[in-house]
Structure 1
Amino acid sequence: MTRADLHTLTGAYAVYALSGRELTEFERHLAVCDACRQEVRELRETAAKLAVATALTPPPTMKDDVMRRIATVRQEPPRVAAREARESHAGPRRRTGRRAMSFALAACVAAAAAFGGAAVWQYREASDARDTARRSERRVAAAEEVTRVLAAPDARSRSGRMADGSTGTVVVSHGLNQAAFLASGLPEPPAGRIYQLWFSDGGTMRPAGLMDSSGRSAAAVLSGAVGKASAMGVTIEPAGGSKAPTSDPLVLLTFPSA
C-alpha cells in the first residue's frame, strides 16, 4: 500500500472500519502524519455531532406496535432478479469478491452506528458533568457571598417568623452595603412560582433577586445595594420574578440599626 493510499483511509479509520494489515499500516502512518491525525479528529468530532443531532427517543408505543404486527404481517420471500440468476453462474471468485465487499460495507455501517451511539452517550455524560460542575460553582460562589456578609465586622441581624411558619433572618452590613437573607424550613413554592426578595425603600418595594428552596435551609445575598432601604420582604411570584410584588409579603423584616 502506497503512502498516497494511506491518506485516503482517514474516513474508514474514524469510524473504526479498518482491521488487519490496513489498520496496522495506517496507525503506523498516523504516528508520523500530522495532517491525517487532524483529519481523523475532525471526522470523529463531526460524527459525534451528527449522532447527537439525529438522536431520537422512540415513542413508548413503538415496542407494543412492533410486537403486535409480528403476528399479523407476513414476511415477503426473497426476490431473485434475472440478472442475479445469470451472475450466479459466474466464477466463485467473483461471488466471493462481492460477498467480501458486502461484508465490508455492513461492517462499516455497524461500526458507524456503534460509534454514533457511543458518541451520544459520551456527549451526554460530558454535558451532565459540565452542568453539575456549573451548578456546584454557582452554589459555592453564592455561599461565599453570604459568608462574606455574615463575617463583616459591622454585621447586624434580625429574625422573624414567616406567614407559612418558617423562620427568616436578615443580616445587614452597612460597611459592605449588602444584606443577606437566611430561611429555615421554607417550603417549596407551588409549581410555576418562586420566592422573590425585596428591599423596602420607605415602603416602596425594590426587586432584590430570586431564591430557590426545596423545604430546607436557604440563604442568599440580596441583589443590589442596601442604600436607603429600611427593611426587606419575601413574596411568592411567578417563575422569573416580578417588577413589583403581586401579593402581600410572607415576612417584612426591619433592618437593625448600625
Structure 2
Amino acid sequence: MMSSLHEVKKETRRVECTGLIDIQRFNSPSWEIEIKQDQSVGTVKAASKQWKDTLTSVKDISSRHVTSLEELFRTAIKSNEQHDLEIGSVRNAAEDDVVKDSEDIISHFGSIIEHEQESSSRMMDAVSVHVGLLEDLCTDHAAQASEIEQRTARTFQKYKASLFASDYEPSGETPVRLESDVPSKGTIESLRAMPMESLLEEFRENHPYESSKEPRPSLIPRSPLVQLN
C-alpha cells in the first residue's frame, strides 16, 4: 500500500505542471486528500518560485532604471556645467568689449574736449590781443583827435586874432607871418589812401607823445602887429 501511495505521489508530481490530473482513477477519500495536498504544495512552490522570479526581475529592472537615471543625471549635470562655462565665457567677452568700447568713447570725448579747450584758449588769446590792439588804437586815436582838435582851435584862434586885431603896440620889429597847418586836398587824399598802421607810425615818429604837449615855434604867442599909419 505504501508503494502504491508513493506511485500516486510520483504520478501527481509528474502531471502537476500540465494541470491534467486524473483523480477519477483513485476512489479512496484519503487518496484525494493527499493528492489535493500535493497539488497545493506544488502550487505554493510554483507561486513562490514565480514570486522570486518576479522580485528578481523587478530588482533588475529597478537597477537598470537607477543606472539609467544616474547616467541621465550625470549627463544633465555635465551639460549644465558646460552651459555655465559657455555663458561665463560669453559674459566675460561681452564685459571686456563693453569696457573697451566705453574706454574708447571716453578717450575720444576727452580728445574732443581737449581740442575744443585748446581752440577756445587760442581764440581767447587772439581776442585778447585784438582787444588790446583796439584799446591802444582807440587810446591813440582819442589822444591824436584831442591834440588835433586843440591845435585846430589854437590855429583858428591865432588866425582870427591876426585878422581882427585892432590894437597894436609899436615894437619896431617886423611881424612874422603866421602859417596855418591846414593840409591841402591832395595831402588829405593821400593820407586817406594810406593804411592806418602807416599813419599811426608816421604820426608817432613826427609827434612823440612826450613832446606833443610842447608848443610849436610857429604857435608861440607874439606881440601884436604895429599899426600902420
Specify which structure has the bigger relative contact order, considering alpha-carbon pairs within 8 angstroms and separated by 6 or more residues.
2
Question: Shared topology, TM-score over 0.5?
Answer: no
- The interval holding the TM-score normalised by the smaller chain is 0.3 to 0.5
Question: Considering only CA atoms, is the larger Rg found in Structure 1 or Structure 2?
Answer: 2
